[in-house]
Structure 1
Amino acid sequence: MIYIVLSVICSVTVAVLLKLAKRYQINIIQAVTVNYFTALSLCFLFFKPDVRLLTTAAPWPIYIALAVLLPSIFLVLAASVKKLGIVKTDIAQRLSLFIPILAAYFIFREGFNEYKLIGLAIGFLAIILTFVRKSEKETSSKHWIYPIAVFIGFGIIDILFKQIALYKDLPYTTSLFTVFALAFVVSMAIVIFMVIARKTKLQLVNLACGLILGFFNFGNILFYMKAHKALAENPSTVFAAMNMGVIVLGSLIGIIIFKEKLSKLNYVGIFLALVAVIFITLSQNAIR
Protein backbone atom coordinates (compact mmCIF):
# COMPACT_ATOMS: atom_id res chain seq x y z
CA MET A 1 0.00 0.00 0.00
CA ILE A 2 3.01 2.30 0.42
CA TYR A 3 3.22 2.69 -3.38
CA ILE A 4 -0.42 3.79 -3.53
CA VAL A 5 0.16 6.35 -0.75
CA LEU A 6 3.24 7.72 -2.54
CA SER A 7 1.36 7.90 -5.85
CA VAL A 8 -1.52 9.79 -4.20
CA ILE A 9 0.91 12.23 -2.55
CA CYS A 10 2.70 12.86 -5.85
CA SER A 11 -0.58 13.41 -7.71
CA VAL A 12 -1.94 15.91 -5.17
CA THR A 13 1.45 17.65 -4.93
CA VAL A 14 1.24 18.44 -8.65
CA ALA A 15 -2.10 20.21 -8.01
CA VAL A 16 -0.61 22.08 -5.04
CA LEU A 17 2.35 23.25 -7.14
CA LEU A 18 -0.03 24.51 -9.82
CA LYS A 19 -2.03 26.29 -7.09
CA LEU A 20 1.15 28.05 -5.90
CA ALA A 21 2.26 28.97 -9.44
CA LYS A 22 0.39 32.29 -9.47
CA ARG A 23 1.78 33.31 -6.07
CA TYR A 24 5.37 32.92 -7.30
CA GLN A 25 4.64 34.23 -10.81
CA ILE A 26 5.50 30.98 -12.55
CA ASN A 27 5.10 30.81 -16.32
CA ILE A 28 3.09 27.61 -16.68
CA ILE A 29 4.05 26.67 -20.24
CA GLN A 30 7.76 27.00 -19.43
CA ALA A 31 7.32 24.92 -16.27
CA VAL A 32 5.31 22.31 -18.20
CA THR A 33 8.05 22.07 -20.86
CA VAL A 34 10.75 21.43 -18.25
CA ASN A 35 8.34 19.05 -16.53
CA TYR A 36 8.20 16.82 -19.61
CA PHE A 37 11.97 16.94 -20.08
CA THR A 38 12.35 15.85 -16.43
CA ALA A 39 9.73 13.12 -16.83
CA LEU A 40 11.28 11.64 -19.98
CA SER A 41 14.76 11.77 -18.38
CA LEU A 42 13.49 9.88 -15.33
CA CYS A 43 11.60 7.49 -17.60
CA PHE A 44 14.87 6.73 -19.43
CA LEU A 45 16.71 6.29 -16.12
CA PHE A 46 14.18 4.01 -14.41
CA PHE A 47 12.57 2.08 -17.28
CA LYS A 48 15.48 1.80 -19.74
CA PRO A 49 13.21 2.02 -22.82
CA ASP A 50 14.58 0.52 -26.02
CA VAL A 51 13.77 3.09 -28.72
CA ARG A 52 15.27 0.77 -31.36
CA LEU A 53 12.02 -1.17 -31.15
CA LEU A 54 10.12 1.79 -32.59
CA THR A 55 9.05 1.25 -36.19
CA THR A 56 6.60 2.80 -38.62
CA ALA A 57 4.11 0.17 -37.42
CA ALA A 58 4.03 1.74 -33.94
CA PRO A 59 0.81 3.62 -33.05
CA TRP A 60 2.23 7.02 -34.07
CA PRO A 61 -1.16 8.74 -34.50
CA ILE A 62 -1.93 7.96 -30.84
CA TYR A 63 1.55 9.08 -29.76
CA ILE A 64 1.13 12.39 -31.59
CA ALA A 65 -2.40 12.92 -30.26
CA LEU A 66 -1.13 12.40 -26.70
CA ALA A 67 1.87 14.67 -27.34
CA VAL A 68 -0.53 17.50 -28.19
CA LEU A 69 -3.16 16.70 -25.58
CA LEU A 70 -0.88 16.23 -22.56
CA PRO A 71 0.67 19.74 -22.45
CA SER A 72 -2.62 21.31 -23.55
CA ILE A 73 -4.64 19.66 -20.76
CA PHE A 74 -1.83 20.40 -18.29
CA LEU A 75 -2.31 24.11 -19.03
CA VAL A 76 -6.09 23.74 -18.63
CA LEU A 77 -5.51 21.85 -15.36
CA ALA A 78 -3.38 24.75 -14.09
CA ALA A 79 -6.08 27.25 -15.08
CA SER A 80 -8.77 25.15 -13.35
CA VAL A 81 -6.74 24.93 -10.11
CA LYS A 82 -6.14 28.68 -10.29
CA LYS A 83 -9.77 29.64 -10.95
CA LEU A 84 -11.74 26.98 -9.05
CA GLY A 85 -9.29 25.39 -6.64
CA ILE A 86 -7.77 21.98 -5.94
CA VAL A 87 -10.91 20.27 -4.63
CA LYS A 88 -13.12 20.67 -7.70
CA THR A 89 -10.27 20.21 -10.17
CA ASP A 90 -9.08 16.94 -8.58
CA ILE A 91 -12.64 15.57 -8.58
CA ALA A 92 -13.09 16.54 -12.24
CA GLN A 93 -9.84 14.75 -13.07
CA ARG A 94 -10.69 11.60 -11.09
CA LEU A 95 -14.29 11.33 -12.34
CA SER A 96 -12.98 11.54 -15.91
CA LEU A 97 -12.68 7.75 -15.58
CA PHE A 98 -16.34 7.64 -16.64
CA ILE A 99 -15.41 8.68 -20.19
CA PRO A 100 -13.31 5.56 -20.95
CA ILE A 101 -16.04 3.49 -19.28
CA LEU A 102 -18.65 4.96 -21.64
CA ALA A 103 -16.25 4.50 -24.56
CA ALA A 104 -15.83 0.85 -23.57
CA TYR A 105 -19.60 0.40 -23.88
CA PHE A 106 -20.43 2.49 -26.95
CA ILE A 107 -17.20 2.05 -28.97
CA PHE A 108 -15.66 -1.23 -27.83
CA ARG A 109 -19.01 -2.93 -27.03
CA GLU A 110 -18.03 -4.11 -23.57
CA GLY A 111 -20.83 -5.26 -21.29
CA PHE A 112 -22.18 -3.27 -18.33
CA ASN A 113 -23.31 -4.74 -15.02
CA GLU A 114 -25.57 -3.16 -12.38
CA TYR A 115 -22.63 -1.90 -10.30
CA LYS A 116 -21.18 0.02 -13.23
CA LEU A 117 -24.54 1.55 -14.13
CA ILE A 118 -25.11 2.64 -10.51
CA GLY A 119 -21.55 4.02 -10.33
CA LEU A 120 -22.06 6.07 -13.51
CA ALA A 121 -25.38 7.47 -12.28
CA ILE A 122 -23.91 8.45 -8.89
CA GLY A 123 -20.81 9.83 -10.59
CA PHE A 124 -22.72 12.21 -12.83
CA LEU A 125 -24.78 13.38 -9.86
CA ALA A 126 -21.52 13.92 -7.95
CA ILE A 127 -20.19 16.08 -10.78
CA ILE A 128 -23.30 18.29 -10.75
CA LEU A 129 -23.29 18.71 -6.95
CA THR A 130 -19.53 19.25 -6.70
CA PHE A 131 -19.56 22.09 -9.20
CA VAL A 132 -22.81 23.80 -8.14
CA ARG A 133 -22.30 27.38 -6.95
CA LYS A 134 -23.62 29.13 -3.87
CA SER A 135 -24.59 32.21 -5.84
CA GLU A 136 -24.22 33.79 -9.23
CA LYS A 137 -21.56 36.15 -7.85
CA GLU A 138 -19.32 33.42 -6.45
CA THR A 139 -17.57 32.45 -9.67
CA SER A 140 -17.77 33.68 -13.22
CA SER A 141 -19.62 31.14 -15.35
CA LYS A 142 -16.83 31.22 -17.95
CA HIS A 143 -14.48 29.58 -15.41
CA TRP A 144 -16.52 26.36 -15.45
CA ILE A 145 -15.15 25.55 -18.87
CA TYR A 146 -11.85 24.59 -17.18
CA PRO A 147 -13.02 21.64 -15.00
CA ILE A 148 -15.25 20.48 -17.85
CA ALA A 149 -12.22 20.50 -20.16
CA VAL A 150 -10.20 18.68 -17.47
CA PHE A 151 -12.96 16.07 -17.20
CA ILE A 152 -13.18 15.49 -20.96
CA GLY A 153 -9.45 15.89 -21.64
CA PHE A 154 -8.23 13.40 -19.06
CA GLY A 155 -10.96 10.98 -20.13
CA ILE A 156 -9.72 11.06 -23.73
CA ILE A 157 -6.09 10.77 -22.57
CA ASP A 158 -7.04 7.70 -20.53
CA ILE A 159 -8.63 6.08 -23.59
CA LEU A 160 -5.51 6.76 -25.70
CA PHE A 161 -3.18 5.35 -23.05
CA LYS A 162 -5.35 2.23 -22.84
CA GLN A 163 -5.01 1.84 -26.61
CA ILE A 164 -1.22 2.04 -26.26
CA ALA A 165 -1.34 -0.61 -23.53
CA LEU A 166 -3.16 -2.93 -25.95
CA TYR A 167 -0.32 -2.61 -28.50
CA LYS A 168 1.74 -5.67 -27.55
CA ASP A 169 4.59 -5.25 -30.06
CA LEU A 170 6.17 -2.55 -27.87
CA PRO A 171 6.78 -2.42 -24.11
CA TYR A 172 4.45 0.08 -22.46
CA THR A 173 7.42 1.94 -20.95
CA THR A 174 8.92 2.51 -24.40
CA SER A 175 5.63 4.00 -25.57
CA LEU A 176 5.49 6.15 -22.43
CA PHE A 177 9.01 7.45 -23.08
CA THR A 178 8.07 8.25 -26.69
CA VAL A 179 4.97 10.17 -25.62
CA PHE A 180 6.95 12.20 -23.06
CA ALA A 181 9.60 13.00 -25.67
CA LEU A 182 7.02 14.17 -28.21
CA ALA A 183 5.13 16.17 -25.55
CA PHE A 184 8.41 17.90 -24.69
CA VAL A 185 8.96 18.79 -28.36
CA VAL A 186 5.43 20.24 -28.65
CA SER A 187 5.81 22.23 -25.42
CA MET A 188 9.25 23.50 -26.45
CA ALA A 189 7.86 24.64 -29.81
CA ILE A 190 5.19 26.67 -27.99
CA VAL A 191 7.77 28.25 -25.67
CA ILE A 192 10.10 29.13 -28.58
CA PHE A 193 7.20 30.73 -30.45
CA MET A 194 6.19 32.78 -27.39
CA VAL A 195 9.78 33.92 -26.79
CA ILE A 196 10.24 34.94 -30.44
CA ALA A 197 6.89 36.75 -30.36
CA ARG A 198 8.08 38.41 -27.12
CA LYS A 199 5.04 37.20 -25.23
CA THR A 200 7.22 35.69 -22.50
CA LYS A 201 10.79 35.68 -21.20
CA LEU A 202 12.81 32.68 -20.10
CA GLN A 203 13.27 32.72 -16.31
CA LEU A 204 15.25 30.45 -13.99
CA VAL A 205 12.35 30.16 -11.53
CA ASN A 206 10.29 28.40 -14.23
CA LEU A 207 13.11 25.89 -14.71
CA ALA A 208 13.18 25.11 -10.98
CA CYS A 209 9.40 24.75 -10.81
CA GLY A 210 9.37 22.53 -13.91
CA LEU A 211 12.01 20.22 -12.42
CA ILE A 212 9.95 19.79 -9.23
CA LEU A 213 6.73 19.39 -11.22
CA GLY A 214 8.30 16.75 -13.47
CA PHE A 215 9.69 14.86 -10.48
CA PHE A 216 6.27 14.52 -8.84
CA ASN A 217 4.45 13.97 -12.15
CA PHE A 218 6.75 11.05 -12.94
CA GLY A 219 6.60 9.84 -9.32
CA ASN A 220 2.83 9.55 -9.65
CA ILE A 221 3.22 7.28 -12.69
CA LEU A 222 6.13 5.27 -11.27
CA PHE A 223 4.49 4.47 -7.93
CA TYR A 224 1.13 3.75 -9.58
CA MET A 225 2.80 1.19 -11.85
CA LYS A 226 4.71 -0.30 -8.90
CA ALA A 227 1.45 -0.54 -6.93
CA HIS A 228 -0.15 -2.51 -9.77
CA LYS A 229 2.90 -4.79 -9.90
CA ALA A 230 2.91 -5.34 -6.12
CA LEU A 231 -0.86 -5.99 -6.08
CA ALA A 232 -1.08 -7.74 -9.42
CA GLU A 233 -3.95 -9.94 -8.23
CA ASN A 234 -5.97 -6.98 -6.94
CA PRO A 235 -5.86 -4.21 -9.60
CA SER A 236 -9.27 -2.93 -8.49
CA THR A 237 -7.82 -2.23 -5.04
CA VAL A 238 -5.14 -0.02 -6.60
CA PHE A 239 -7.74 1.68 -8.80
CA ALA A 240 -10.09 2.45 -5.90
CA ALA A 241 -7.41 3.45 -3.38
CA MET A 242 -5.69 5.76 -5.86
CA ASN A 243 -8.81 7.63 -6.97
CA MET A 244 -10.36 7.85 -3.51
CA GLY A 245 -7.03 8.84 -1.99
CA VAL A 246 -6.59 11.75 -4.39
CA ILE A 247 -10.16 12.96 -3.84
CA VAL A 248 -9.84 12.82 -0.03
CA LEU A 249 -6.31 14.26 0.27
CA GLY A 250 -6.93 16.90 -2.39
CA SER A 251 -10.15 17.96 -0.66
CA LEU A 252 -8.49 18.17 2.76
CA ILE A 253 -5.58 20.27 1.45
CA GLY A 254 -7.86 22.54 -0.55
CA ILE A 255 -10.23 23.13 2.37
CA ILE A 256 -7.76 23.28 5.28
CA ILE A 257 -4.63 24.83 3.76
CA PHE A 258 -5.98 26.94 0.90
CA LYS A 259 -9.32 27.76 2.58
CA GLU A 260 -11.35 26.86 -0.49
CA LYS A 261 -15.04 27.54 0.16
CA LEU A 262 -17.54 24.79 -0.51
CA SER A 263 -21.29 24.60 -0.05
CA LYS A 264 -23.13 21.75 1.64
CA LEU A 265 -24.08 20.44 -1.79
CA ASN A 266 -20.40 20.46 -2.77
CA TYR A 267 -19.58 18.28 0.24
CA VAL A 268 -22.38 15.90 -0.74
CA GLY A 269 -20.84 15.82 -4.24
CA ILE A 270 -17.43 14.85 -2.80
CA PHE A 271 -19.03 12.03 -0.80
CA LEU A 272 -20.92 10.78 -3.85
CA ALA A 273 -17.72 10.87 -5.90
CA LEU A 274 -16.19 8.43 -3.41
CA VAL A 275 -19.30 6.23 -3.55
CA ALA A 276 -19.14 6.24 -7.36
CA VAL A 277 -15.51 5.05 -7.30
CA ILE A 278 -16.52 2.21 -4.93
CA PHE A 279 -19.28 1.03 -7.28
CA ILE A 280 -16.97 1.19 -10.32
CA THR A 281 -14.44 -0.89 -8.37
CA LEU A 282 -17.15 -3.41 -7.45
CA SER A 283 -18.11 -3.63 -11.12
CA GLN A 284 -14.56 -4.67 -11.99
CA ASN A 285 -14.65 -7.41 -9.37
CA ALA A 286 -18.05 -8.57 -10.64
CA ILE A 287 -16.67 -8.93 -14.19
CA ARG A 288 -13.95 -11.21 -12.85
Structure 2
Amino acid sequence: MIYIILSICCSVIVAILLKLAKRYQINIIQAVISNYLMAIVLCYFFFKPNLNFITTNAPWAIYLSLGILLPSIFLFLAASIKNLGIVKTDIAQRLSLFIPILAAYFLFKEDFSLVKFLGLGTGFLAILFTFIRKSENNKEIKNWIYPVTVFVGFGVIDVLFKQVALNKAIPYTTSLFTIFCIAFLVATIIVLVKVINHRTKIQLVNLGCGLILGLFNFGNILFYLKAHQYFSKNPSTVFGAMNLGVIALGTLIGVLIFKEKLSVLNYIGILLAICAVLLITISQLYAV
Protein backbone atom coordinates (compact mmCIF):
# COMPACT_ATOMS: atom_id res chain seq x y z
CA MET A 1 0.00 0.00 0.00
CA ILE A 2 2.96 2.30 0.60
CA TYR A 3 3.68 2.35 -3.14
CA ILE A 4 0.13 3.54 -3.91
CA ILE A 5 0.40 6.28 -1.26
CA LEU A 6 3.77 7.42 -2.61
CA SER A 7 2.43 7.46 -6.18
CA ILE A 8 -0.59 9.53 -5.10
CA CYS A 9 1.66 11.99 -3.24
CA CYS A 10 4.02 12.36 -6.21
CA SER A 11 1.10 12.97 -8.59
CA VAL A 12 -0.40 15.68 -6.38
CA ILE A 13 3.03 17.27 -5.75
CA VAL A 14 3.45 17.63 -9.53
CA ALA A 15 0.15 19.54 -9.59
CA ILE A 16 1.28 21.71 -6.65
CA LEU A 17 4.58 22.53 -8.39
CA LEU A 18 2.73 23.52 -11.56
CA LYS A 19 0.43 25.70 -9.44
CA LEU A 20 3.43 27.41 -7.83
CA ALA A 21 5.05 27.90 -11.24
CA LYS A 22 2.56 30.69 -11.96
CA ARG A 23 3.40 32.45 -8.70
CA TYR A 24 7.16 32.36 -9.32
CA GLN A 25 6.89 32.99 -13.08
CA ILE A 26 8.53 29.74 -14.12
CA ASN A 27 8.63 29.12 -17.87
CA ILE A 28 6.84 25.77 -18.13
CA ILE A 29 8.13 24.63 -21.51
CA GLN A 30 11.73 25.18 -20.36
CA ALA A 31 10.96 23.25 -17.19
CA VAL A 32 9.50 20.45 -19.32
CA ILE A 33 12.91 19.98 -21.01
CA SER A 34 14.74 19.21 -17.76
CA ASN A 35 11.68 17.34 -16.49
CA TYR A 36 12.16 14.76 -19.25
CA LEU A 37 15.94 14.85 -18.88
CA MET A 38 15.50 13.84 -15.24
CA ALA A 39 13.00 11.17 -16.30
CA ILE A 40 15.50 9.76 -18.82
CA VAL A 41 18.30 9.57 -16.24
CA LEU A 42 16.10 7.98 -13.56
CA CYS A 43 14.51 5.60 -16.06
CA TYR A 44 17.98 4.44 -17.15
CA PHE A 45 19.13 4.06 -13.53
CA PHE A 46 16.09 2.24 -12.14
CA PHE A 47 14.87 0.22 -15.14
CA LYS A 48 18.13 -0.54 -16.98
CA PRO A 49 16.47 -0.43 -20.43
CA ASN A 50 17.93 -2.75 -23.07
CA LEU A 51 18.21 -0.60 -26.18
CA ASN A 52 19.05 -3.64 -28.32
CA PHE A 53 15.30 -4.22 -28.49
CA ILE A 54 14.77 -0.84 -30.21
CA THR A 55 15.01 -1.67 -33.90
CA THR A 56 13.17 -0.66 -37.05
CA ASN A 57 10.50 -3.19 -36.06
CA ALA A 58 9.64 -1.23 -32.91
CA PRO A 59 6.24 0.54 -32.87
CA TRP A 60 7.72 3.89 -33.90
CA ALA A 61 4.38 5.43 -34.86
CA ILE A 62 3.17 4.97 -31.27
CA TYR A 63 6.51 6.10 -29.83
CA LEU A 64 6.50 9.28 -31.91
CA SER A 65 2.85 9.99 -31.11
CA LEU A 66 3.51 9.67 -27.38
CA GLY A 67 6.75 11.63 -27.65
CA ILE A 68 4.85 14.55 -29.16
CA LEU A 69 1.71 14.24 -27.02
CA LEU A 70 3.43 14.01 -23.62
CA PRO A 71 5.13 17.45 -23.60
CA SER A 72 2.20 19.03 -25.45
CA ILE A 73 -0.44 17.81 -22.99
CA PHE A 74 1.89 18.70 -20.13
CA LEU A 75 1.63 22.32 -21.21
CA PHE A 76 -2.17 22.12 -21.24
CA LEU A 77 -2.04 20.50 -17.80
CA ALA A 78 -0.01 23.43 -16.48
CA ALA A 79 -2.37 25.94 -18.14
CA SER A 80 -5.42 24.18 -16.68
CA ILE A 81 -3.95 24.25 -13.16
CA LYS A 82 -3.01 27.90 -13.65
CA ASN A 83 -6.47 28.99 -14.84
CA LEU A 84 -8.86 26.55 -13.13
CA GLY A 85 -6.91 25.15 -10.20
CA ILE A 86 -5.70 21.80 -8.92
CA VAL A 87 -9.11 20.34 -8.00
CA LYS A 88 -10.77 20.58 -11.41
CA THR A 89 -7.61 19.69 -13.33
CA ASP A 90 -6.97 16.56 -11.24
CA ILE A 91 -10.54 15.41 -11.83
CA ALA A 92 -10.23 16.03 -15.59
CA GLN A 93 -6.98 14.04 -15.62
CA ARG A 94 -8.34 11.16 -13.54
CA LEU A 95 -11.63 10.88 -15.43
CA SER A 96 -9.65 10.64 -18.67
CA LEU A 97 -9.66 6.92 -17.87
CA PHE A 98 -13.03 6.85 -19.64
CA ILE A 99 -11.34 7.42 -23.02
CA PRO A 100 -9.54 4.04 -23.02
CA ILE A 101 -12.71 2.41 -21.65
CA LEU A 102 -14.71 3.81 -24.56
CA ALA A 103 -11.94 2.75 -26.93
CA ALA A 104 -12.17 -0.78 -25.51
CA TYR A 105 -15.91 -0.83 -26.21
CA PHE A 106 -16.04 0.80 -29.65
CA LEU A 107 -12.66 -0.18 -31.14
CA PHE A 108 -11.81 -3.48 -29.46
CA LYS A 109 -15.41 -4.69 -29.01
CA GLU A 110 -15.03 -5.64 -25.34
CA ASP A 111 -18.13 -6.74 -23.44
CA PHE A 112 -19.48 -4.15 -21.02
CA SER A 113 -21.38 -4.81 -17.80
CA LEU A 114 -24.23 -2.70 -16.45
CA VAL A 115 -21.96 -1.47 -13.64
CA LYS A 116 -19.38 -0.21 -16.15
CA PHE A 117 -22.08 1.62 -18.11
CA LEU A 118 -23.28 3.21 -14.86
CA GLY A 119 -19.69 4.21 -14.09
CA LEU A 120 -19.31 5.89 -17.48
CA GLY A 121 -22.60 7.76 -17.14
CA THR A 122 -21.71 8.91 -13.63
CA GLY A 123 -18.29 10.00 -14.86
CA PHE A 124 -19.70 12.26 -17.56
CA LEU A 125 -22.14 13.78 -15.07
CA ALA A 126 -19.16 14.37 -12.77
CA ILE A 127 -17.35 16.27 -15.52
CA LEU A 128 -20.42 18.44 -16.14
CA PHE A 129 -20.97 19.27 -12.47
CA THR A 130 -17.28 19.78 -11.71
CA PHE A 131 -16.77 22.50 -14.32
CA ILE A 132 -20.18 24.16 -14.35
CA ARG A 133 -20.59 27.60 -12.80
CA LYS A 134 -23.66 29.72 -12.19
CA SER A 135 -22.33 32.50 -14.40
CA GLU A 136 -19.41 32.41 -16.77
CA ASN A 137 -17.84 35.23 -18.74
CA ASN A 138 -16.11 34.74 -22.07
CA LYS A 139 -12.69 34.29 -20.44
CA GLU A 140 -13.96 31.52 -18.15
CA ILE A 141 -15.65 29.76 -21.08
CA LYS A 142 -12.41 29.89 -23.08
CA ASN A 143 -10.56 28.35 -20.12
CA TRP A 144 -12.63 25.18 -20.61
CA ILE A 145 -10.29 24.26 -23.48
CA TYR A 146 -7.56 23.41 -20.97
CA PRO A 147 -9.30 20.74 -18.85
CA VAL A 148 -11.08 19.36 -21.91
CA THR A 149 -7.73 18.94 -23.67
CA VAL A 150 -6.27 17.38 -20.50
CA PHE A 151 -9.22 14.96 -20.37
CA VAL A 152 -8.96 13.92 -24.03
CA GLY A 153 -5.15 14.11 -24.19
CA PHE A 154 -4.44 11.91 -21.18
CA GLY A 155 -7.12 9.50 -22.37
CA VAL A 156 -5.44 9.14 -25.78
CA ILE A 157 -2.05 8.81 -24.07
CA ASP A 158 -3.46 6.02 -21.90
CA VAL A 159 -4.77 4.18 -24.98
CA LEU A 160 -1.37 4.47 -26.69
CA PHE A 161 0.51 3.28 -23.60
CA LYS A 162 -1.80 0.27 -23.43
CA GLN A 163 -0.83 -0.50 -27.02
CA VAL A 164 2.85 -0.26 -26.02
CA ALA A 165 2.22 -2.68 -23.13
CA LEU A 166 0.67 -5.20 -25.54
CA ASN A 167 3.97 -5.42 -27.47
CA LYS A 168 5.59 -8.36 -25.66
CA ALA A 169 8.65 -8.29 -27.91
CA ILE A 170 9.97 -5.11 -26.27
CA PRO A 171 10.12 -4.61 -22.47
CA TYR A 172 7.71 -1.89 -21.35
CA THR A 173 10.41 0.05 -19.49
CA THR A 174 12.62 0.08 -22.58
CA SER A 175 9.74 1.56 -24.57
CA LEU A 176 9.17 4.08 -21.78
CA PHE A 177 12.81 5.17 -21.92
CA THR A 178 12.59 5.62 -25.72
CA ILE A 179 9.39 7.67 -25.41
CA PHE A 180 10.98 9.94 -22.78
CA CYS A 181 13.93 10.55 -25.11
CA ILE A 182 11.58 11.58 -27.94
CA ALA A 183 9.56 13.83 -25.58
CA PHE A 184 12.81 15.48 -24.46
CA LEU A 185 13.81 16.16 -28.07
CA VAL A 186 10.36 17.58 -28.91
CA ALA A 187 10.41 19.93 -25.90
CA THR A 188 13.97 21.01 -26.74
CA ILE A 189 13.02 21.80 -30.35
CA ILE A 190 10.05 23.91 -29.17
CA VAL A 191 12.28 25.94 -26.84
CA LEU A 192 15.02 26.36 -29.45
CA VAL A 193 12.48 27.69 -31.96
CA LYS A 194 11.25 30.18 -29.33
CA VAL A 195 14.83 31.24 -28.56
CA ILE A 196 15.69 31.68 -32.25
CA ASN A 197 12.54 33.79 -32.72
CA HIS A 198 13.56 35.88 -29.66
CA ARG A 199 10.33 34.93 -27.88
CA THR A 200 12.09 33.54 -24.80
CA LYS A 201 15.46 33.28 -23.09
CA ILE A 202 16.76 30.15 -21.44
CA GLN A 203 17.04 30.63 -17.68
CA LEU A 204 18.69 28.18 -15.31
CA VAL A 205 15.96 28.64 -12.71
CA ASN A 206 13.42 27.18 -15.15
CA LEU A 207 15.65 24.18 -15.88
CA GLY A 208 16.34 23.69 -12.16
CA CYS A 209 12.62 23.68 -11.34
CA GLY A 210 12.09 21.21 -14.17
CA LEU A 211 14.54 18.78 -12.56
CA ILE A 212 12.49 18.84 -9.35
CA LEU A 213 9.32 18.42 -11.38
CA GLY A 214 10.86 15.47 -13.23
CA LEU A 215 11.85 13.81 -9.96
CA PHE A 216 8.25 13.68 -8.71
CA ASN A 217 6.83 12.98 -12.17
CA PHE A 218 9.05 9.92 -12.46
CA GLY A 219 8.32 8.98 -8.85
CA ASN A 220 4.65 8.82 -9.73
CA ILE A 221 5.40 6.37 -12.57
CA LEU A 222 7.92 4.29 -10.59
CA PHE A 223 5.69 3.78 -7.54
CA TYR A 224 2.63 3.16 -9.71
CA LEU A 225 4.45 0.37 -11.59
CA LYS A 226 5.76 -1.08 -8.30
CA ALA A 227 2.22 -1.03 -6.87
CA HIS A 228 1.00 -2.98 -9.89
CA GLN A 229 3.82 -5.49 -9.41
CA TYR A 230 2.91 -5.93 -5.73
CA PHE A 231 -0.83 -6.24 -6.47
CA SER A 232 -0.26 -8.18 -9.69
CA LYS A 233 -3.29 -10.40 -9.01
CA ASN A 234 -5.55 -7.48 -8.18
CA PRO A 235 -4.75 -4.49 -10.44
CA SER A 236 -8.18 -2.96 -9.75
CA THR A 237 -7.01 -2.17 -6.22
CA VAL A 238 -4.21 0.00 -7.62
CA PHE A 239 -6.50 1.52 -10.25
CA GLY A 240 -9.20 2.50 -7.78
CA ALA A 241 -6.97 3.61 -4.92
CA MET A 242 -4.77 5.72 -7.19
CA ASN A 243 -7.59 7.62 -8.86
CA LEU A 244 -9.64 8.10 -5.69
CA GLY A 245 -6.56 9.11 -3.74
CA VAL A 246 -5.50 11.78 -6.23
CA ILE A 247 -9.02 13.24 -6.43
CA ALA A 248 -9.38 13.32 -2.63
CA LEU A 249 -5.90 14.67 -1.81
CA GLY A 250 -5.96 17.10 -4.74
CA THR A 251 -9.30 18.48 -3.54
CA LEU A 252 -8.03 18.93 0.03
CA ILE A 253 -4.84 20.68 -1.13
CA GLY A 254 -6.69 22.89 -3.61
CA VAL A 255 -9.42 23.99 -1.20
CA LEU A 256 -7.51 24.22 2.09
CA ILE A 257 -4.08 25.44 0.96
CA PHE A 258 -4.69 27.29 -2.30
CA LYS A 259 -8.21 28.48 -1.34
CA GLU A 260 -9.72 27.40 -4.65
CA LYS A 261 -13.40 28.34 -4.77
CA LEU A 262 -15.91 25.60 -5.53
CA SER A 263 -19.67 25.81 -5.79
CA VAL A 264 -22.17 23.29 -4.39
CA LEU A 265 -22.50 21.87 -7.92
CA ASN A 266 -18.71 21.45 -8.10
CA TYR A 267 -18.72 19.47 -4.85
CA ILE A 268 -21.50 17.30 -6.26
CA GLY A 269 -19.26 16.75 -9.28
CA ILE A 270 -16.38 15.64 -7.03
CA LEU A 271 -18.65 13.13 -5.26
CA LEU A 272 -19.88 11.86 -8.63
CA ALA A 273 -16.27 11.48 -9.79
CA ILE A 274 -15.51 9.34 -6.74
CA CYS A 275 -18.65 7.26 -7.39
CA ALA A 276 -17.66 6.84 -11.05
CA VAL A 277 -14.19 5.56 -10.16
CA LEU A 278 -15.68 3.18 -7.58
CA LEU A 279 -18.17 1.80 -10.13
CA ILE A 280 -15.46 1.28 -12.76
CA THR A 281 -13.19 -0.37 -10.18
CA ILE A 282 -16.00 -2.70 -9.07
CA SER A 283 -16.79 -3.60 -12.68
CA GLN A 284 -13.16 -4.56 -13.26
CA LEU A 285 -12.78 -6.34 -9.93
CA TYR A 286 -15.85 -8.55 -10.17
CA ALA A 287 -16.57 -8.39 -13.92
CA VAL A 288 -20.28 -8.09 -13.24
TM-score when normalising by structure 2 = 0.98
Aligned equivalent of 1:104: 104
2:73–2:153: 8 Å Cα contact kept in structure 1? Answer: yes
Aligned equivalent of 2:186: 186
Cα deviation per residue 1:22-43 (whole Å; 9 max; x = unaligned)?
1111000000111001001100
Aligned equivalent of 2:272: 272
Cα deviation per residue 1:226-256 (whole Å; 9 max; x = unaligned)?
0011111111000000000000000000000
- The CA deviation at 1:207 is 1.3
Q: Distance in 2 between matches of 1:264 and 1:279?
A: 23
Q: Distance in 1 between matches of 2:238 and 2:59?
A: 27
Q: Distance in 2 between matches of 1:240 and 1:138?
A: 36
2:10–2:217: 8 Å Cα contact kept in structure 1? Answer: yes
Aligned equivalent of 1:208: 208
2:234–2:285: 8 Å Cα contact kept in structure 1? Answer: no
Amino acid at match of 1:99: I
Identity of aligned residues (%): 67
SS at 2:259 equivalent: coil
Equivalences for residues 1-288 of structure 1 within 5 A: 1-137=1-137, 140-287=140-287
Amino acid at match of 1:15: A
TM-score when normalising by structure 1 = 0.98
Q: Distance in 2 between matches of 1:248 and 1:268?
A: 13
Cα deviation per residue 1:148-205 (whole Å; 9 max; x = unaligned)?
0000000000000000000000000000000000000000011111111111111111
Gaps of 5+ in 2: none
Q: Distance in 2 between matches of 1:196 and 1:137?
A: 36
2:76–2:150: 8 Å Cα contact kept in structure 1? Answer: yes
Q: Distance in 1 between matches of 2:280 and 2:138?
A: 33
Q: Distance in 2 between matches of 1:195 and 1:138?
A: 32
Q: Distance in 1 between matches of 2:11 and 2:67?
A: 20
Number of residue pairs aligned between Structure 1 and Structure 2:
288
